[in-house]
Structure formats: structure tokens, C-alpha cells
Copies of this chain bind each other. A is one copy, B any other.
């Protein structure tokens, strides 16, 4: 899915991104955190975002990223004044959908220079979500670059932002990083944990995925992360032993996700979720670590995913993660539009 037709540069996922591109984007993001990030590098370009799902950080950070760089930003919310969109091929469109993504994104490609898309997992079929049907259909339909603002199985800007945030804390030191499953009221998609494990694997960290039995990530993504980790001199391990995972960790990255065994069964998924409330990240769990930083992509449910004391404490770097979103998104915008980011001046 990473290859765009007709020489286009899409930015769709972390799994098949070239290693050089990964490092270039992080370096560009760091440059764009300085004065270069307020230069009109993208003057007159038009960036549009299409949201099939809610957003606060992503929407705001992309709009600000575009405006800071002199581009125009257009926001479109499916279902909020936008036609409902079909993405399947070949059918008779006599149902609820008034427009096909082929037309919707074909048209937007004539009006805009790059397109962001948020399309969460359907959570009905793991196999279908793993094929990224909506994002793939859009990437084929668009004739301008498409950026993934969180799809069924990946959230690549979050992964980039998390890697950048850790580089700022650890430099290029490799560290033990725990991605810990956390409780929730409903099964959530796998996109963020996937992006986190792929990002930290690319950085060569010792990544430990701590989760209760039955809460595995997608096996294909896990295999990709392990391959990327090996190439970067790191490792990705999976355990149900939360305490062992936290021991010696320098980073605790909390996130809830649904049990893949109950995919398409929300009631069963909720019941499975409810059996592990003790996985909330609290001060006691953080005390097992080596004074770890606490990370979360946000939004986060307080005192369910993480205790107030941890989220409000000095180890929490969640706002730094959010700020890094702005900087990496400036980098991916320049990347897909083919605009070089200037080196910092003397």
C-alpha cells in the first residue's frame, strides 16, 4: 500500500517506509521545530483533510502546520455536511452512500495539492481492517499525495511524533520501552499501538509489548516490527507479565486496544476488557520502572487508563508528544509535496 501510482508520494504507513525516509522525516521535523517551521515553504499550496472520525489534535495540528508554512488548509468532515462515501468497487449504489471515493477524491485531487485522510477501523472483520479498504481505495482514487491521519491499522504521524519525542529525551540512546495495554470501556482499534511498536522498533529500542492474554497485536504488524527492530539493532518482545515488563523500563507507553478474538463482537470485547482493570498505569506500577517517562497518544480516560497522579506528574510527557505532532506533520507535508526543508542557518 505504500507505493503510490503515477510517481506520487503518499504517506500511508510506517511498516513499509524506507529507512532513509524515516530518518529524513525525523531530521526535517527537528529543523521545522525551529524558525524554518514558520517560513512560507508551502506558500499557496492547498492541503485538505477529510475526517471520517473525530479529531482534535490531528485536525488542529495539520491545520496549523499548513498555515504556519504558508499553505491553505481545508477541513472536511464526512457526515458533518459532507456526503456519505462508498469505497467498495462494482456495486449498485442504491443504499446510503451518495458518492464513491473514486469521485470524491478524484474531485478533491483537482482542487487540492495534498489530502489527509482519517478513517478508523470498522472493527467488524480483522481481515478486512488489515486490508485498509478505505485508505487503499482513496490512495488509488487520488491523483495528489495522500497522508494517513489514522487508518484502520496505522497512525504513522503519531509514531513519528512519539519517536521524535523520545529522541529529545534519550538522544539516540537505546532503551527499554514498554508498550503497555490499558483498560477501557470499549474495544479500541489497533492503529496507535501498531504505530508505536513500529516506531520504537525502527529506533532500535528494546520494545516490550505487555498485554493480557487475548490482546495480541496483528501478527503481520508484529512480524514487521520484529524485522525492523532486528535491522536497527533492537528487539520486540511480547509478554503478559506486566511487572517484569515494567522492571527497568525507561519509557511506559500506555494504550488500550480491543481483544482481536472478539473482533466484531463488541459485547464480548467489553466483557474481556472488564477483566483487566488492574492494568491501569498508576504510581505503584511506575515505581517498578527505572524512573520511566509516561507516554500516551491522547485522548486518554483518566483513572481508567492512567491514574491522575501519573498523568499529572513530572514523568508525563504527553503534551510534548502532541507538540511533536505539529513538527512531524510539517515534515510529512513537505515530504509528499517534494519541498526540501532548509538546513538550519549558521
Q: How many copies does the complex hold?
A: 3
On chain B, the residues within 8 Å of A54 by CB distance are 81-83
Q: Are B107 and A56 in contact (CB under 8 A)?
A: yes
Q: Which B residues lie within 8 Å of A185 (CB)? A: 94-95
Is A51 close to B, CB under 8 A? yes
Partner of A60, one of B60, B76, B93, B301: B76
Q: Answer whether A57 and B92 are a contact pair too, CB < 8 Å, given A44-B68, A99-B298.
A: no
**A202–chain B nearest beta-carbon distance, Å:** 24
Give A70 Cβ to nearest chain B Cβ, in Å: 10
A103→B316 CA distance, assembly (Å): 12
A102 CA to B312 CA, complexed, in Å: 9
Please tell me if A67 contacts chain B, counting CB pairs below 8 Å.
yes
The distance from the CB of A239 to the nearest CB of chain B, in whole angstroms, is 26
Contact indicator B67/A81 (Cβ below 8 Å):
no
Instruction: Indicate if A267 sits at the interface (CB-CB under 8 A).
Output: no
Are B60 and A319 neighbours in the complex by a CB distance under 8 Å? Answer: no
Asked if residues A303 and B93 are in contact (CB atoms below 8 Å), the reply is yes
Please choose the segment from A19-27, A108-116, A129-137 that sits at the chain B interface, where 4 or more of its residues have CB less than 8 A away: A108-116
Asked if A163 lies at the interface with its beta carbon under 8 angstroms from chain B, I say no
Contact with B along A20-55 (1 / 0, CB 8 A): 000000000000000000100000101010010011
CB of A64 within 8 A of CB of B111, answer: yes
Q: Does A326 sit at the interface, judged by CB under 8 A?
A: yes
At the interface, yes or no: A63 with Cβ under 8 Å from chain B? Answer: yes
Of chain B, the residue at the smallest CB distance from A84 is B54
Closest B residue by C-beta to A103: B298
**A9 contacts chain B at the CB level, 8 A cutoff:** no
Q: Enumerate chain B residues within 8 angstroms of A110, measured Cβ to Cβ.
A: 319, 322-323, 326
Q: Which of B111, B299, B323, B326 is A326 in contact with, Cβ under 8 Å? A: B111
Chain B minimum-CB-distance residue to A325 = B111
Within 8 A of B (CB), among A82-110: 82-83, 86, 89-95, 97-100, 102-104, 106-110
Residue interface bits A56-82, CB-to-B below 8 A is 1, else 0: 110111011001100010101100111
Interface centre among A97, A108, A300, A301 (most CB of B within 10 A): A301
- Which of B38, B46, B81, B308 is in CB contact (< 8 Å) with A64? B46
Chain B contacts of A55 at CB under 8 A? 81-82
A268 CB → nearest B CB, Å: 18
The answer to whether the Cβ of A238 comes within 8 Å of any Cβ in the partner chain is no
Question: Contacts A38-B44, A302-B91, A319-B106 given: A111-B67 contact, CB under 8 Å?
Answer: no
Pairs across A and B, CB under 8 Å, 19 listed: A38-B44, A51-B81, A59-B76, A60-B107, A63-B72, A64-B111, A77-B81, A86-B302, A90-B303, A94-B301, A94-B304, A95-B185, A103-B298, A103-B311, A104-B299, A106-B318, A109-B319, A110-B319, A111-B323
6 additional A-B pairs beyond A95-B185, A111-B326, beta carbons within 8 Å, are A56-B82, A56-B83, A64-B74, A102-B312, A107-B322, A110-B326
